[in-house]
Structure 1
């Protein structure tokens, strides 16, 4: 589908009120919408205190609120476009197949990561000391 065809199919979708396959992929669709809504909320807040900071109170509140509501409606409709909704439904079905680790395995893996990072930090500190000593020995850099 060309970009012109995709845009043409998006326009009618924005004015629909029904949900596409409402019982399938609900969790992933809701999380996707909430993530988009949070980004929009931060953007509207930035708009209010940034670009519109010197305006009157109705403009500082009204414009970001109108923009936020419009973009949230678009986000709500986007997660219900059949192609995107089918993708999110398949994402949720794949997530249901994941075997999540237990508490003991998470704790063990966390300890391994922390110990590895500590050793890596110590190793890099040692390498830095060696290079510092070498560069000061050949008078390439004068450390004080």
Structure 2
């Protein structure tokens, strides 16, 4: 049982936020467990069992974060995200407006086709009924 950080300093932000998200999820789960154990009426069970589970999950999160395969994946992910050329605010607004316009135009065309088919089928059913 050795306390070390695999490739210390690499992928810092990715590891940090992944660990924090997993820990927040574990905290929420232990809180819900504590709520379920209130019916026992024993405060030791109500609080110590979730605390022990949280301690175990914290150790698991630490262990998984330091596995070479997982840590290398997070390090490489952060490296790839640094290579991304992010769009400017103006480009994002322009692209969003184009997408919204295309969606509105296509929905209007599909609505018109739907109304046309409905009218045609109503006409056909009136003639043959």
Taking structure 1 as the reference length, the TM-score comes to: 0.68
Equivalent-residue separation in structure 2 for 1:131 and 1:43 (angstroms): 52
Do structure 1's residue 86 and structure 2's residue 72 form an aligned pair? yes
Residue aligned with 1:30, SS: helix
Query: Which has more helix, going by share of residues?
Result: 2
Equivalent-residue separation in structure 2 for 1:134 and 1:46 (angstroms): 57
Match of 1:36 in 2: 22
State the number of aligned residues: 124
CA change 1:129–1:63 in 2 (3 A) is farther
1:105-125: CA deviations, max 9, x gaps?
Answer: 111122223333334444455
Match of 1:60 in 2: 46
Match of 2:101 in 1: 115
1:87-133: CA deviations, max 9, x gaps?
Answer: 11111111111101111111112222333333444445555555666
How far is the alpha carbon of 1:32 from its aligned partner? 1.5
Do structure 1's residue 48 and structure 2's residue 34 form an aligned pair? yes
Equivalent-residue separation in structure 2 for 1:80 and 1:115 (angstroms): 47
Answer with 1 or 2: which has the greater Rg: 2
Unaligned runs of 5+ in 2: none
Unaligned runs of 5+ in 1: 1-14, 140-144
| Aligned-CA RMSD value | 2.7
Taking structure 2 as the reference length, the TM-score comes to: 0.74
